[in-house]
Structure 1
Amino acid sequence: MTMEIGSKAPDFTLQDTEGEEVTLSDFEEKVNVVVLFFPLAFSNTCTNELCTARDNMKLYNSLDAKIIGISVDSFFCLREFKKSENLNFTLLSDFNKQVSTKYNALYDDYYGMKGVSKRASFVVDKQGTIRFQEILDDSSELPNFKAIQKTLSDLS
């Protein structure tokens, strides 16, 4: 599936760190959503990325945005990652790789591991429309947080 800016974001339901289901479309008409796919919990760049989001939560709140992090790690692993880094936003497990696949954010081979999420970011507005997307092939790069924030600012 090819996604373009202005297209409807593929809906999904995944388990959070407590095993509860979270559905993207439940946020429509309520809040903008920043979806951050990341390869693996506890890796250096992923920790840096998610801690950057954590440290800017007041800004995201002021822009009426919710952050959701997604990886193929189990929700048990993500629970420990969230706790160890004191992350103040939702982490979801795409253990079966369905959502990463829908969003074209999945490596076929990542250092010998099959089916790991790419580092990718999407801004989904209150109508469920994609307003920003960035899919990085180089997992050592961080998302363009400035562009994400500008997109959110433009939606306000």
Structure 2
Amino acid sequence: MALSTGTKAPDFTLKSKNDDGLVDVTLSAKFGDQNTVLLFFPFAFTGVCQEELCTVSGGFGEYDALNAVVYGISIDSPFAQEGFAKANNITIPLLSDFNKDVSAAYDVLYSDLLGFKGVSKRSAFVINKEGEITYAWSSEDPHDMPLFDEIKAALKA
């Protein structure tokens, strides 16, 4: 079961890949300044993941207006994520949880998905400026989409 609201968000540093190379992204770097939305997704280059991340990228201005940074997280390598982002015009940073440590810390790993062990469940967390989880959602069905209206309502609260 995913971490619940009221829980201190586990801090992490993950790799992201852009045109300038690999960069480290640390969750706590936003504490005190911005709210954070974490969107865990199973695999790059799959239809539902593409739809989810393109939806968020297309409406990024709404999250920015709510003083929130949005990160997509999967177990894919940062190099695969970069290709996925470029192929689909995904503008939010994608973070590689290649070692599965962050997905495990947030308790959002499938034990088995289509024969693959340790794949991130489609999950969403809103973390406030103090580092506390104020919204948590996770699905056992990888076809379910996050409830974006609920995420935005949590950011307004």
TM-score range normalised by the length of the shorter chain: over 0.9
Partner of 1:89, secondary structure, is coil
Q: Hey, what's the Cα distance between the residues in 2 that align with 1:52 and 1:116?
A: 22
Partner of 1:52, secondary structure, is helix
Q: Hey, what's the Cα distance between the residues in 2 that align with 1:40 and 1:149?
A: 24
The one-character-per-residue Cα deviations of 1:28-57 (angstroms, maximum 9, x if unpaired) are 011100000000001000000001101111
Residue aligning to 1:31: 34
| Counterpart pick for 1:52 among 32, 51, 55 | 55
Number of positions where the alignment pairs a residue of Structure 1 with one of Structure 2: 154
Identity %: 44
| Counterpart pick for 1:89 among 84, 89, 92 | 92
| Counterpart pick for 2:64 among 61, 64, 75 | 61
TM-score by length of 2: 0.95
TM-score by length of 1: 0.96
Provide structure 1 residue ranges, at least 5 long, that are not aligned to the other structure: none
Q: Hey, what's the Cα distance between the residues in 2 that align with 1:28 and 1:52?
A: 25
Q: Hey, what's the Cα distance between the residues in 2 that align with 1:36 and 1:151?
A: 14
Provide structure 2 residue ranges, at least 5 long, that are not aligned to the other structure: none
The answer to whether the Cα contact below 8 Å between 2:2 and 2:138 also exists between their aligned partners in 1 is no
Deviation, structure 1 residue 76:
0.5
* Equivalent AA in structure 2 for residue 12 of structure 1: F
Q: Hey, what's the Cα distance between the residues in 2 that align with 1:153 and 1:39?
A: 27
* RMSD between superposed Cα atoms in Å: 1.1
Deviating beyond 4 angstroms after TM superposition, the runs of 4 or more aligned structure 1 residues are none
